[in-house]
């Protein structure tokens, strides 16, 4: 490669509320050279995911925050440009944690080779990547879907929710999605095959949700929080399960919402219905990755699990796309196309 | 027995907020006579338990409400007065669901014979009864205590909490109790052997709790809700478990508390710490009753598990004692002594 400039998007400031353009800087550095056993990767596609909002905060969580001035973290599909590592050759396509930049070095750890013949390489960021594995492991381990149960999925047209609902259908559930526009809802029912989908921006959302769940809710896939969760609470059946995967409605919050305090309402539902509300992150289930890739890979190849991608061109547009993702402006898995695959 | 009057305490009105004297009536009826295969029981000791407040409401729960004009439900230690049932003889002592009355009929189902030589018969209402089994099954199945973990127990001097903490000690946990007076806290540490106990009425309760849990909280036994739970939330460790057994601080509530809305704070903790918050009732674990009686019975006989009873004389005082129980005025397992055991 003749390029000598590595564009990087770094965290310039910790966002107060919704991230602003000024919270990010695009800096140009020299393309690094791999040392002994090193690999130089060029980013082809960058994944944007809601969890990244958490990395921008300096608070205790399951991963340490991105430091100010550091490159934003993120999964990517990358191409090997130069390799001094025995396992990797120029031209190979890998999943990497390259972050928001054109080029990254790797010592080979954390890289996973992708076979472009098996599935489109972008799926490694979505349905066959972290979001898909989140859906698969969280639903099966915590949700424990059973034939005939009602599964409600928040953010149903998104990367995780779309997989959750389709896996729920495969497991025999009645699946009700929740999404943010009529167009998304139509996609969720018509393309993904959910039994129903409710627009959470509708004025009578709560009544529509109740009507779509005549037998109550056995599993609620929590991705969202806020009004959606509060509408779900009265509908729980005995022994319902709530895998808590995300809370995107709250990620930009700088203070708790106004009252009344809904916490006792939830806890009363937990007690009287014997709910199981359980948070998780995908890597808690890392040993299930091979099983996930095999199972969901097969479903994707068979067309039983579909996916939708929302691809934005240009690394420089990642900050804006991230802002949109946190507002639900994406439609499907949010991906940044950073560079075209090179012929080797 | 020569008595001909059966005093019954019936639910006269559904309490609005805290139960009042006027929500109960004491009525006198004739002592019933057992039919074929029937047993006439005389109540010796009546159990008062926080769950009874829920039975006074006409709302969906895990059990149907007590009807207006119906005898209040409750477990009791009773003596067989007359028996036409092959399995029971006059003079025998049994656990029964006789409710708030002097006499009750039974067809034998739900009766469990008690051996006064094995343990004081009142323990069938407390440490070796429903409260003790609640503690044992909820802690082991949901709490899953491990050596060296920190277990925090709300309502620590009560029937359930005192057993939870002592079982936690046997399992090798650091156990921190929370109770409502200095006297209760002294009992919890000095008599029950908890490592610490914090008075939740202290102004700096939150700071004291944090100081008593230098390694965070791995298990929180939720019996209470309210301020206590909100103080616990910031202290959770990764993968902490929260068996939700009761919410006594909210049982008399007629509306949600004022804001801010703390629900997102809990859900964020659930997500980032991967908490498991799970409600249960003791009969979800009914198959473990024999194991419980054997194990905890042994601990009680060995003196490894202690208990304290708060016995009030006279059936007519049950409504007042129930009101006090909901305000934490009892000190130990609340029991009503209804009648003396008769010599047979």
- With beta carbons under 8 A apart, name residues in chain B contacting A276: 276-279
Burial of A329 (0-12, 13-18, 19+ CB in 10 A): middle
Cα dihedral B89/B92/B97/B99 (nearest 10): 110
Between A57-61, A87-91, B35-39, B107-111, the lowest mean confidence (pLDDT) is in: A57-61
Cα dihedral B99/B100/B101/B104 (nearest 10): 0
- With beta carbons under 8 A apart, name residues in chain B contacting A267: 222, 225, 229, 244, 247, 250
- With beta carbons under 8 A apart, name residues in chain A contacting B50: none
CATH architecture classification, B5-126+307-337: Alpha-Beta Complex (3.90)
CA distance A260 to chain B (A): 4
Q: Identify the residue whose tokens are 């006074």.
A: B56
Whole-number Å distance between alpha carbons of B51 and B57:
11
Whole-number Å distance between alpha carbons of B318 and B301:
30
Whole-number Å distance between alpha carbons of B150 and B62:
30
Q: pTM score, two decimals?
A: 0.95
Work out the pLDDT band at A257, boundaries 50, 70, 90. very high
CA distance B27 to chain A (A): 31
- The pLDDT value recorded for residue A40 is 98
Q: Which residue from B minimizes the CA distance to A60?
A: B272
Give the mean model confidence (pLDDT) for residues A88-103: 98
Query: Would you say residue B14 has pLDDT above 80?
Result: yes
Q: Per the omega criterion (within 30 degrees of 0), is the bond before B255 cis?
A: no
In degrees and rounded to multiples of 5, residue B244 shows phi and psi of -100, 105
Whether B263 and A268 lie within 8 Å, measured CB to CB: no
Whole-number Å distance between alpha carbons of B134 and B140:
10
Whether B247 and A268 lie within 8 Å, measured CB to CB: yes
CB A95 within 8 A of CB A46: no
Whether B262 and A276 lie within 8 Å, measured CB to CB: no
Give the SS3 label for residue A222.
strand
CATH 3.90.180.10 domain extents, chain A: 5-126+308-337
Query: Would you say residue B1 has pLDDT above 50?
Result: no
Q: Per the omega criterion (within 30 degrees of 0), is the bond before A260 cis?
A: yes
The more confidently predicted of residues B59 and A293 is A293
In degrees and rounded to multiples of 5, residue A310 shows phi and psi of -120, 100
Please provide the distance, in angstroms rounded to a whole number, between the alpha carbons at the two ends of chain A: 11
The more confidently predicted of residues A249 and B90 is B90
Characterize the bridge pairing of strands B236-244 and B217-221: parallel
CB A234 within 8 A of CB A256: no
* Chain B residues whose C-beta sits inside 8 Å of any chain A C-beta: 54, 60-62, 222, 225-226, 229-230, 238, 244-247, 250, 253, 255-268, 270-281, 284
- With beta carbons under 8 A apart, name residues in chain A contacting B250: 264, 267-268
Residue-wise pLDDT tens digits, B95-125:
999 999 999 999 999 999 999 999 999 999 9
Whole-number Å distance between alpha carbons of A276 and A257:
24
- The pLDDT value recorded for residue B2 is 54
- With beta carbons under 8 A apart, name residues in chain B contacting A238: 62
- With beta carbons under 8 A apart, name residues in chain A contacting B277: 270, 275-278
Whole-number Å distance between alpha carbons of B307 and B110:
25
Give the mean model confidence (pLDDT) for residues B61-87: 95
Nearest beta carbon to residue B225 from set A222, A250, A264? A264
- With beta carbons under 8 A apart, name residues in chain B contacting A226: 264
Calculate the average pLDDT of chain A: 96
- The pLDDT value recorded for residue A1 is 46
CA distance B3 to chain A (A): 40
Residue-wise pLDDT tens digits, B207-232:
999 999 999 999 999 999 999 999 99
Work out the pLDDT band at A31, boundaries 50, 70, 90. very high
Which tokens belong to B4? 């001909």
DSSP state of A101: B
Nearest beta carbon to residue A276 from set B238, B246, B276? B276
CATH architecture classification, B130-284: 3-Layer(aba) Sandwich (3.40)
- With beta carbons under 8 A apart, name residues in chain A contacting B258: 259-261
Counted across chains A and B, CB pairs separated by less than 8 A come out at: 142
DSSP state of B254: S
CA distance A146 to chain B (A): 19
CB B31 within 8 A of CB B79: no
Residue-wise pLDDT tens digits, B113-162:
999 999 999 999 999 999 999 999 999 999 999 999 999 999 999 999 99
Give the mean model confidence (pLDDT) for residues A257-275: 95
Give the mean model confidence (pLDDT) for residues B75-96: 98
Residue-wise pLDDT tens digits, A104-144:
999 999 999 999 999 999 999 999 999 999 999 999 999 99
Query: Would you say residue A21 has pLDDT above 90?
Result: yes
Nearest beta carbon to residue A259 from set B62, B259, B267? B259
Work out the pLDDT band at A2, boundaries 50, 70, 90. low
Whether B247 and A271 lie within 8 Å, measured CB to CB: yes
CB B239 within 8 A of CB A235: no
Residue in A134, A269, A278 to test binding to B, most B beta-carbons within 10 Å = A278
In degrees and rounded to multiples of 5, residue A106 shows phi and psi of -145, 150
Calculate the average pLDDT of chain B: 96
Work out the pLDDT band at B4, boundaries 50, 70, 90. confident
* Chain A residues whose C-beta sits inside 8 Å of any chain B C-beta: 54, 60-62, 222, 225-226, 229-230, 238, 244-247, 250, 253, 255-268, 270-281, 284
Give the mean model confidence (pLDDT) for residues A16-41: 97
Work out the pLDDT band at A67, boundaries 50, 70, 90. very high
Work out the pLDDT band at A63, boundaries 50, 70, 90. confident
Q: Which fold has domain A5-126+308-337?
A: Quinone Oxidoreductase; Chain A, domain 1 (3.90.180)
CB A157 within 8 A of CB A184: yes
CA B178 to chain centre: 16
Nearest beta carbon to residue B279 from set A255, A258, A271? A271
Give the mean model confidence (pLDDT) for residues B165-186: 98
- With beta carbons under 8 A apart, name residues in chain B contacting A225: 264, 267
Between B3-7, B202-206, B264-268, the lowest mean confidence (pLDDT) is in: B3-7
Residue-wise pLDDT tens digits, A145-157:
999 999 999 999 9
CATH 3.40.50.720 domain extents, chain A: 130-284
**Largest interatomic CA distance in chain A:** 65
């Amino acid at each position: 490669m003749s390029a000598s400039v590595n564009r990087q998007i770094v965290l310039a400031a910790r966002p107060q509320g919704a991230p602003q353009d000024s919270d990010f800087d695009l800096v140009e550095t020299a393309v690094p050279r791999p040392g002994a056993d090193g690999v130089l990767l060029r980013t082809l596609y960058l994944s944007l995911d809601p969890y990244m909002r958490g990395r921008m905060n300096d608070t205790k969580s399951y991963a340490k925050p991105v430091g100010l001035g550091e490159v934003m973290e993120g999964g990517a599909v990358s191409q090997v440009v130069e390799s001094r590592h025995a396992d990797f050759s120029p031209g190979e396509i890998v999943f990497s944690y390259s972050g928001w930049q054109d080029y990254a070095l790797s010592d080979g750890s954390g890289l996973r080779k992708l076979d472009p013949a098996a599935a489109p390489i972008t799926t490694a960021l979505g349905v066959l990547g972290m979001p898909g594995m989140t859906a698969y492991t969280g639903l099966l381990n915590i949700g424990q879907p059973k034939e005939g149960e009602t599964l409600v999925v928040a953010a149903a047209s998104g990367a995780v929710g779309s997989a959750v609902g389709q896996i729920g259908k495969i497991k025999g559930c009645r699946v009700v999605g929740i999404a943010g526009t009529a167009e998304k809802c139509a996609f969720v029912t018509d393309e993904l095959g959910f039994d129903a989908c409710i627009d959470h921006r509708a004025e009578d959302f709560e009544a529509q949700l109740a009507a779509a769940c005549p037998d109550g809710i056995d599993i609620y896939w929590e991705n969202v929080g806020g009004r959606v969760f509060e509408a779900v609470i009265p509908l729980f059946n005995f022994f319902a399960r709530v895998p808590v995967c995300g809370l995107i409605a709250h990620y930009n919050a700088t203070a708790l919402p106004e009252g009344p305090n809904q916490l006792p309402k939830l806890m009363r539902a937990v007690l009287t219905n014997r709910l199981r509300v359980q948070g998780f992150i995908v890597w808690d289930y890392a040993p299930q990755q091979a099983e996930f890739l095999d199972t969901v890979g097969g479903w994707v190849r068979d067309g039983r699990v579909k996916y939708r991608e929302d691809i934005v061109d240009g690394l420089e547009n990642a900050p804006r796309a991230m802002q949109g993702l946190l507002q639900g402006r994406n439609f499907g898995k949010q991906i940044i196309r950073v560079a075209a695959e090179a012929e080797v």
